[in-house]
Amino acid sequence: MQVTEALAIDHGLKKEEFIKICDLLKRTPNLTELAIFSAMWNEHCSYKSSRKHLKKLHTKGKQVIQGPGENAGVVDIGDDDAIVFKIESHNHPSFIEPYQGAATGVGGIMRDVFTMGARPIANLNSIHFGSPQHKKTKNLLRGVVKGIGGYGNCIGVPTIGGQTSFDDSYNGNILVNAMTIGLVNKNKIFYSKAAGLNKPVIYVGSKTGRDGIHGASMASATFDDKIEEKKPTVQVGDPFTEKLLLEACLELMSDNSIIAIQDMGAAGLTSSSVEMASKGNLGIELDLSKVPCREEEMTPYEIMLSESQERMLIVLENGKENHAKKIFEKWDLDFAVIGKTTNSKKIELKFNNTKVAEIPINLLAENAPIYDRKWKKTKLPQKLKINKNEFKSLNLSDCLKKILANPNISEKKWIWDQYDHTVMGDTIQKPGGDAGVVRIHGSKKAIAASIDSSASYCNSHPLTGGKQIVCESWRNLISVGAKPIAITNCLNFGNPEKEKNMGEFVECVEGISESCKYLNFPVVSGNVSFYNETKDKGIKPTPAIGGIGLIKDYEKMVTMNIKNEGNLVFVLGKTEGHLDQSIFAKSILSEDKGPPPEINLFNEKNNGETLLKLIDKNLIKSCHDVSIGGILVAVSKMCILGKKGIKLNPIKSLTNKFEYFFAEDQSRYIIELEKKNLEIVRKILKKNSVHYDELGTVSKNQLEFGSEIKLSIEEIEESNKIWLKKFMDN
């Protein structure tokens, strides 16, 4: 087939990119070479629109062993233990084929983690769907949840937390972001950098098929009416094979056989081989006729672009081939020596004794395009001029029940009940709290993890929204008694060729970096997902933040369920009454304009670190951060989980009760403490200049505020449970 400009454009390349390829090669590429360029130069693999700005992220920290640039980030948690973790998107595949798209997203992120020598110990996810009224939403939700559960449950890794939201902007492009956490000895971490000459290059895992071809390119394109035609680009996963691959890789990693190892993820054999060679400043020679294929007469083009799942590429030490082969054959997996490292600094491909491709590695890596795209700054919106006379006709109880039933507030038990969160026996805080927690086997340590995003705040003002979502992650970890260590991010945005979308990305990144630097909460891994739009309509900017923290003694872990009658309930942090962009404003006042709540990083850091001191001294019985929905929603969820009520005190700091109870001001926590510890808690809060309100007292079975709220726990719980169950049952 003759390679033309039109064919290059069909492969997702721009006209000017094709011209550049011809200039660099000093010839026209053949079809296989064009495929390799299209894979390596697409947005998903090259980060050509984002790389310039990602350099602004705060990535350094005392506990950081490996930051961005590897399969996953690594942080030190002491005692020679390290945590490997990352989040990835699988948005486009999940919209096209929800079950397999979500399942292979989970499989892919787990391979990124165990490729580095870590055994996965927990999964999380952030999933976003269109309006509940949209005709596709219910089926997409059902398929995605089944896919996540189907893969994670089968491989035997607990899903300990997640986030689910609904918004019109996802009608034509849902988001499925998967996160995995793994545990490894910090002295036994494996990397993807190839080293040494004439080292054998090994293919292991499943056979290569035609599924997933052009998957990476598809992930860098917008959708149109022909979306159904893209189903063949979605990979098909097999969790049972992944489990075998995991165990085989970890077994081989127990000795000194492996020089480098890389998951065949996006762009399959193309990206894995090029990235290993590029990092090692080497060449790589592959004989594609030796690649195990499950379909007949596969071409070099298909073999290089296939994204068949459960496959790895390994560079071995010489003489270790038979040893490695025995391990993989024992686990009933394919094993083949398909090439070697060279000093050519090229990728050279043979097929049936014929050279079919030859490309200098640097043309695919360092010479990939880097764009400095134009972008538009978002002005901070003017505050809403809310007519407070409207509040006179509102009833606090009715407002609370309506907000608790909001799709973005409602209990998601229907979802997490489909995930196995107890397998492995180390989960000590399950989904439904601020953060999931797993024990580190054989120690007193535990890892807390959360995943958060806030598209509304980021859409209103990306810079503030970017700062906020890092702070939300910080608070969720602190709420369970964990010291925050680091984050991973999945940055989901629309078409970067549009100045508005690019501006949202740039400013969100700047906001994320500012918060991370101030809080000493570095970014160690992540993913960028652009082109999330259909028919020229993009999603709201949705950066998802996966945070991890360390609990040195898991017996000091805190949960959010209210504990004992007579205990006192405080709000830490000042409530200013910010209603703009709140659930209250949208659900009750039908207002969706205005700025997000202001972020005060000093208060965020000070309030959080002070709370950790209180937790360390065993002064806190329960805790929950105040986020979406405000104080009343936070205390309601604490009451539901604890099966106890709270008698709320009269408001002192604000005159307007709706502003006080539903505001979404940041840097706040609800804490429960025993009366005997009142004075010492007050003393510590005063010493550290932390504002607090004495909110109320734990009661038997009712949430009460004067004569305006008298709701049983059963009523609150029913309001919070009813929406999702009813939605999925209809």
Q: Does an H or E element contain 639, and which?
A: helix 630-642
CB 149 within 8 A of CB 159: yes
Q: Which residues have CB under 8 Å from 378's CB, separation 6+?
A: 461, 462, 463, 500, 503, 504, 507
Instruction: Please list the residues that pair with 66 across neighbouring strands.
Output: 74
Stated length of the chain? 730
**Side chain identity at 152, as an amino acid letter?**
G
SS3 state at 186: coil
For tokens 């209809």, the residue is 730
**H/E segment holding residue 710:** strand 709-712
Distance CA(348)–CA(357), nearest Å, equals 6
The Cα 439–Cα 274 span in angstroms is: 37
Beta bridge mates, 181: 85, 122
- Rounded CA-CA distance 579/654 in Å is 13
Q: Which among 594, 656, 659, 611 has a CA at the least distance from the CA of 632?
A: 659
CA distance 524 to 185: 18
The rounded distance, in Å, linking the Cα atoms of 247 and 256 is 16
Kindly list the distances between the CA atom of residue 43 and the CA atoms of 16, 131, 370, 371, in Å, as whole numbers in the listed order.
Answer: 15, 28, 10, 11
Asked if 416 contacts 162 with a C-beta cutoff of 8 angstroms, the reply is yes
Side-chain half-sphere exposure of 649, counting CA atoms within 13 A: 13
Q: Dihedral sign, CA of 703, 709, 714, 716?
A: negative
Give the separation between CA 530 and CA 91, rounded to whole angstroms.
Answer: 10
CA angle at 728 for the pair 726 and 730, rounded to the nearest 5°: 65
DSSP 203-252: EEESPB-STTTTHHHHTTS-B-TTGGGGGGGS----HHHHHHHHHHHHHH
Angle between helices 462-479 and 499-519 (to 10 degrees): 40
Residue 215 near residue 235, CB atoms below 8 Å:
yes
Alpha-carbon span 570 to 727, nearest angstrom = 35
Catalytic residues: 44, 90
